Amino acid sequence: CVIKKNAEKSAALVQQMQYTTDLEKSNVQLNLLSINLYEFLNQKVHDYELEANKKNIELVLKIEKDVPTNVELDKERITRILDNIISNSLQYTPDNGAINITVTSEKNMIFYKICDSGCGFSAKDLKKAFDKFYRGDEARQTQGGHSGLGLYIVKKLLDQINGSIQIENTESGGACVLFSHGIR
């Protein structure tokens, strides 16, 4: 059982490192698809409800009225970005906590704000979180640890779609990840 788990972790790490190598190549091909953004985002949140329910975490999606319904975007990249951010929030949010996802729009941009009621980012995390292989002190102490590639991958993906990202802490101490990208 332990050998199998370690083998699975090793395989996942190798896959993540291969994906990172592919991201660093300069010949980026975007795959723009026309999607219903409301349905897409509601499905993404639904995908995480089971995991959230295990820890009794309230997962709330709020899409502002100004967000267009039908947009063209690279669904695969946005999925990967949301998966990395939301899975981090779920890991670091304590039982009975909350994760709030707010989506707004301005001109041809979509803005996401994902905030949790976890321990937030340390001062060092705020400076180094997007560095390749950086793992914050909290990550090193958790069971299984992390590769330190999650936010690095998110940043690379956003660079490819002319997006941006920043991290901060909420007034109550939780972590917030804010990112944006253009739409057509």
Q: For the chain (length 184 residues), average pLDDT per consecutive 10? A: 58 49 62 94 95 96 96 92 92 94 94 93 68 50 50 85 90 90 87
C-alpha 33: how far from its chain's center? 20
pLDDT at 30: 82
127, burial (CB in 10 Å: exposed 0-12, middle 13-18, buried 19+): exposed
pLDDT at 131: 58
Spatial distance between the Cα atoms of 34 and 75, rounded to a whole number of angstroms: 9
Spatial distance between the Cα atoms of 67 and 57, rounded to a whole number of angstroms: 26
